Structure 1
Amino acid sequence: MARCDELAAVSEEPGCLTRRYLTPPAKIVHQRLAGWMTDASLTPRVDNAGNLIGRLSGRGTRRVLLIGSHLDTVPNAGKYDGVLGVLMGLAVAERLRGEDLPFHLDVVGFSEEEGVRFSKPYLGCSALSGDFLPEWLDRRDAAGVSMRQAIADFGLDPDAVGSCIYDPADVLGFIEPHLEQGPVLEHAKLPVGMVSGIAGQSRLRVAFHGAAAHAGTTPMDRRQDALLCAAQFVTAVRARALSVEGLRATVGSVRVTPNAPNVVAAAAELSLDVRHAEDAQRESAVRDLIAAGHEAAASEGARFEVLEETSQSAVLMDHKLSSLLRESIEECGGPPTSILSGAGHDAVIMAGRFPVSMLFLRHPGAVSHHPDERVEAEDVAVGIDVLTRFVLRLARQLRSTA
């Protein structure tokens, strides 16, 4: 918990926690974590995507178990999202040094998950899984810096991101400890729970194109108001989400042009985030909302456009790893409550290549991506105990089948 506090003070902005991909604070975090890893008998390294990896070596093996989460944050973040999972992985490795493990234990601090700097999430885990696309290197941040330049400025080789890939034949699995970011465990009065799956997600950028006009001289019935279209669209998004159990649909960002108080809006660009545990439900909602956008634009003589659309399918946790995690939770005295994650995690991408499992921790107040983010030390202690038992169970299982 003290280490969480220490890393939370490493930020791009005074007075709040903001730490984006490969910014100078990320290097400071690497230095401190690498020191703690070395003290715990791990061998740290930074790959060419900026992921920090500390290895507790097993004996005579290529097999490896990955444990960890991400080190970047959203702007004005809480101190536990992502980082807590990395530090819990380190705590497990500290407990297990001296154990004769039949596999390597790699504690991973992914360099990027939030998608803040380059409007592209999951950069760190995509590099490990082999899903990193070379064209992403040309993306630019708000200051005009390309991802290629950011990687080079960090002292890494952007043309060698391919060297980060783990061979799926060597990877026993990836387990990610994380705050629940929801209220289920708090309501159940349980310190930890296991994730059953992660909801699929669609992210879109859409725009309405109308015509700028004088707010005082243009009659109301002769306007092509892009912001009015956007308002109709936001209402349609909420109505569609309420129509299906478990559907989440959100417009979280709106940019208006020219954004002046006495000018009818010429354009409005919006984000759209749609999530559901069943991909068919999510995809149907996206189709309906795109149609609603066109309908809203037509009603005002404007034009609707989808600027960008990406999606991630729903993910199920690996059965074998989840069984070991369930047994470890039971051994620690708790019922193995299963929870569907509505938030995306590094495990989403890792699941495309490797077996994955997730351990959730109780999140008092369930306020995440915010300075009020909380976790109790006692719950973290339970989580570390569960994860340690999980690793030892996996080791015993492998020895028994060798």
Structure 2
Amino acid sequence: MTDLKLSAESIMTRADRLAEFSADEGQLTRAYLTPEHRAAHQQLAIWMTDAGLETWGDSVGNQWGRKVSPNPTQPTLVLGSHSDTVTNAGKYDGNLGVLLAIEALSLLRDVTLPFHVDVVAFADEEGTRFNTTLIGSSAVAGRYDRNWLSVADSDGVTIGQAMEQFGLSPEQAGMDARQPSDVQAYLEVHIEQGPVLEARNLPVGVVTGIAGAKRFQCQVKGMAGHAGTVPIHLRKDAMCGVAEMVLCIESYAEQRGIVATVGICDTVKGAINVIPGEVHFTIDIRSAKQALLEDSAHELMQKLADIAKQRHLALTSQTIYQATAVECNETLTQRWSNVVEKLTGHTPCLLPSGAGHDAMAMAHLAPIAMLFVRCDKGISHHPLENVIVDDVKVALDCLIEMIKTFDTPADSILAHHFKH
């Protein structure tokens, strides 16, 4: 087989090239249904063709390539990740997984398999332009929400209008969804976006599941007053109440083994010499265990209500986002663990993903499994996001080996999946 180190170096070069398709000079920003989206997918299509794949774009702007089986006796295996980015992004989030899949199929060009293998570059995982996430993968999984078509960007352009400008038909969006009986599994390779693998000095890790999330918008109201004339014990200081709430959120999360973050905190009409009368803040709560997420969110909001009551403040909150935790398939997770141990000689690191991925949507279609690649200092969604070529080589080796494990006629991975 071709030297995998050379293939890994080629992937790094292609990541550099893909990063040039950006809306912003000097930084990487590539959003859904933009000229940069089109240009990046045109480049991916060229690389897919070079790898011997049949290529096409689908109804929502995802880019596909297929390694065609001359005699497919099993459902299609799908590999992929996303090609869109956040604002001022790094080069590897999402994009690395797409490039690894293309290179893996290029190296398997002369290997005949009893199933088609598809690679997909999902068009909108991040939601940078329209504040919607997982549009590309949701459409493939048969969960396209027609209400998305009326969602507008900051310029007032709706997704439906943007699709028409892009050359797509809004009426056809999601109509080419895959059927569960036609897909045997979905595999995604992704940078870890965290520091665990680096701390353990391991190139790759096997994902056990993807955390669910709940997000809340909270408002705390007290009484504004003069900063010099109202004694401390007579104040209803909304900011002091929120400060206590933030520390409560931090300590509670640590006790329960979840993560919780206050990402935004704003004083409404605040001034340097005024006691804060109203403060708005957000909470992001995540756990890989859905039951724990639900219980924790309920209990935590009750604790915040108690703080408000003790301080004679009014607390209101709205749930603004929720995503259900998704478990990776146990059989595939074990299979990938075996591959990692075989190729690296290390006991595989099993870890959950605290970030969302296209695999969350694809889990509604097929069994899913994910492989994480170590990233420098765990940095992601930032220009300093980085991976090293030796780790990319290991990930490529593992992906190729994982694809080969499906080449067993008696092995229809999960019989229960096809009964649905």
Give the TM-score normalised by the residue count of structure 1: 0.89
1:24–1:395: structure 2 CA closer, same or farther, 3 Å change rule?
same
Closer, same or farther: CA 393–261 of 1 in aligned 2, 3 Å: same
How far apart, CA to CA, are the structure 2 residues paired with 1:264 and 1:142?
34
Q: 1:251 to 1:94 in 2, by over 3 A?
A: same
Matching of residue 109 in structure 1 with residue 121 in structure 2: yes
Q: Contact conserved, 1:49 with 1:164, CA < 8 A, in 2?
A: no
Shift of 1:354: 0.8
Matched, 1:27 2:34: no
* Pairing partner for 2:92 from 80, 83, 86: 80
Aligned match of 2:3: none
CA RMSD of aligned residues (A): 2.7
1:360 counterpart = 2:372: yes
Equivalent runs, 1:136-151 vs 2, <5 Å: 136-151=148-163
2:387 corresponding residue in structure 1: 375
Look up the SS of the partner of 1:169 in the other structure.
helix
Q: Deviations over 1:339-390 (max 9, x none)?
A: 2222221112211321010111122311122211111101101111111111
- Alignment partner of 1:36 out of 47, 56, 78: 47
Are the structure 2 counterparts of residues 208 and 379 from structure 1 closer, same or farther at C-alpha, using a change threshold of 3 Å? same
1:234 to 240, 246, 254: 246
Q: Does the C-alpha gap of structure 1 residues 165 and 13 become closer, same or farther in structure 2, counting only changes over 3 Å?
A: same
- Contact kept in structure 1, 2:179 and 2:365, CA below 8 Å: no
Cα distance, 1:50 vs structure 2: 1.9
Q: TM-score, normalised by structure 2?
A: 0.86
Letter aligned with residue 235 of structure 1: L
Q: Indicate conservation of the 8 Å contact 2:184/2:412, yes or no.
A: no
Query: Superposition pairs for residues 1-400 of structure 1, below 5 Å?
Result: 1-61=12-72, 63-209=75-221, 226-244=238-256, 246-258=257-269, 267-298=278-309, 303-335=314-346, 336-397=348-409
Distance in 2 (CA, whole Å) between partners of 1:38 and 1:259 is: 58
CA contact (8 A) 1:48 1:151 kept: no
Unaligned runs of 5+ in 2: 1-11, 414-420
Q: How many angstroms does 1:219 deviate by?
A: 7.8
Please state whether the residue corresponding to 2:174 is helix, strand or coil: helix
Q: What do the CA deviations read for 1:153-174 (whole angstroms, capped 9, x no partner)?
A: 2221222222241111010100
Listed as ranges, the gaps of 5+ residues in structure 1 are: none
Residues 257 and 321 of structure 1: is their aligned pair in 2 closer, same or farther, counting only changes over 3 Å? same
What displacement does 1:264 show?
5.9
What is the identity percentage for the equivalent residue pairs of Structure 1 and Structure 2?
40
Q: What is the distance in 1 between the residues matched to 2:319 and 2:269? A: 22
Q: Deviation per CA, 1:35-82, whole angstroms, max 9, x where unpaired? A: 111221222222222211112212243721111111122222211111
DSSP 3-state at the match of 2:407: helix
